[in-house]
């Protein structure tokens, strides 16, 4: 039976985070996209942007971010550079100091490093990708029968309610992180088994083909984001190679930690501690490699990425490698 969901646990964590953390309805009428509008308001309130700074920030988000369907690859890097030139030293210090606190609220979205919707390290667009029944954005190509549509919708609704209950229990302090992890794994496997029982072999093969296409698209997107990052920071080839090498090294480490977490040989607390070690190493490399201006842009990009995660956008810090999102590669 084809395991067509790659890193499916990440999807579950992403869903738990979204249900638990996205509770803000604040919007900004000057930006069409609600996620970016919320980000604009959040940053403006946090560092007390002046009216001119707020206007410039909103214009940058609108110009480069667009909306979820047409965002420029790596747009947060460009926005971060604009903001770096606009903020005072005091505002930057306040923004950087608040990043760790903001990231605490993303523990279950950023926990595994690459949660999110789609992309190589997210749920891959297969489980949770459709608003109708949470299987795939390519529903029309699967030629689902009416009975299959009904069955898959029922499965999706059933498990969504259970994920929501887990999120509520976590928020209310009724359950610990390790128990949440255990239950998420159980729910993930149960949902996957039920879905596979509904699909035919041909439909599973189509999903596997779609997964491969998504991986290829991700790699192309990741390179586009890298190009924007390199251009914004003015990186030399050697500097870009050093950052990319660290990314690949840490990615392998993260995947090993994820495997240990899923196997039950690593607790959530220990996992988070290991991720903190990786983040410290990343910061040390960047601080030693980049100029003060370049490093400030990286810190602002981190800050924007972490805070945008609260509103359903790709959350968490990252190298700006693409969208897999995690800590985030989304902007």
Ordered DSSP codes for 253-297: HHHHHHHHHHHTSS-HHHHHHHHHHHHHHHHHHHHHHS-HHHHHH
Residue spans per domain, the chain: 8-311
- The pLDDT, as a whole number, for residue 263 is 86
The answer to whether 214 and 118 are in contact (CB under 8 A) is yes
pLDDT of residue 281 exceeding 70: yes
Determine how many CB atoms are found less than 10 A away from the CB of residue 242: 16
Over residues 251-277, the pLDDT tens digits come to 899 889 888 888 889 888 898 889 888
**Best CA proximity match to 107, nearest among 323, 276, 283:** 276
pTM, to two decimals: 0.74
92 pLDDT more than 50: yes
pLDDT score recorded for residue 210: 82
Q: Are 12 and 191 in contact (CB under 8 A)?
A: no
Residue 285: φ, ψ to 5°? -65, -45
Lowest mean pLDDT among 115-129, 183-197, 198-212, 223-237: 115-129
The stretch 194-211 carries a mean pLDDT of: 87
- Please provide the DSSP assignment of 123-156 as one string: -TTTSS--TTTSS-TTHHHHT--HHHHHHHHHHH
| pLDDT tens, residue by residue, 45-90 | 999 999 999 999 999 999 998 877 778 889 999 999 999 999 999 9
Q: What is the pLDDT of residue 124?
A: 27
- pLDDT of 123 > 50? The answer is no
- 289 has pLDDT over 80: yes
State the SS3 of 191-241.
Answer: HHHHHHHHCCHHHHHHHHHHHHHHHHHHHHHHHHHHHHHHHHHCCCHHHHH
Of 225 and 2, the one with more pLDDT: 225
Does the pLDDT of residue 307 top 80, yes or no?
Answer: yes
pLDDT of residue 134: 55
Evaluate whether 331 touches 320 at the Cβ level (below 8 Å): yes
């Amino acid at each position: 039976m084809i395991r067509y969901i790659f890193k499916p646990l990440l999807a579950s964590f992403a869903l738990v985070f979204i249900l638990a953390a996205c509770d803000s309805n604040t919007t900004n009428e000057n930006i069409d996209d609600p996620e970016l509008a919320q980000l604009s308001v959040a940053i403006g309130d946090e560092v007390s942007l002046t009216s001119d700074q707020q206007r410039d920030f909103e214009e940058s988000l609108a110009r480069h971010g667009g909306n979820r369907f047409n965002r420029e690859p790596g747009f947060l890097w460009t926005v971060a550079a604009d903001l770096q030139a606009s903020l005072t030293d005091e505002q930057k210090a306040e923004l950087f100091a608040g990043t760790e606190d903001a990231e605490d609220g993303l523990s279950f979205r950023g926990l595994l490093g690459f949660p999110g919707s789609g992309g190589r390290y997210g749920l891959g667009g297969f489980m949770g990708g459709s608003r109708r029944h949470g299987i795939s954005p390519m529903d029309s190509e699967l030629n689902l029968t009416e009975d299959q549509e009904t069955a898959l919708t029922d499965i999706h609704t059933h498990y969504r309610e259970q994920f929501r209950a887990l999120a509520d229990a976590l928020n209310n302090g009724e359950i610990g992180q390790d128990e949440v992890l255990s239950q998420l794994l159980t729910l993930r496997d149960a949902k996957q088994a039920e879905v596979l029982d509904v699909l035919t072999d041909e439909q599973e093969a189509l999903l596997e083909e779609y997964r491969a296409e998504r991986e290829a698209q991700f790699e192309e997107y990741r390179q586009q984001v890298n190009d924007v990052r390199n251009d914004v920071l003015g990186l030399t080839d050697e500097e870009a190679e050093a950052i990319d090498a660290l990314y690949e090294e840490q990615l392998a480490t993260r995947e090993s930690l994820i495997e240990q977490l899923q196997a039950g040989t690593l607790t959530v607390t220990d996992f988070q501690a290991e991720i903190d070690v990786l983040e410290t190493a990343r910061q040390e490399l960047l601080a030693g490699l980049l100029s003060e201006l370049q490093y400030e842009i990286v810190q602002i990009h981190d800050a924007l990425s972490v805070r945008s995660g609260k509103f359903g956008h790709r959350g968490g810090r990252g190298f700006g490698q693409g969208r897999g999102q995690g800590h985030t590669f989304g902007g």
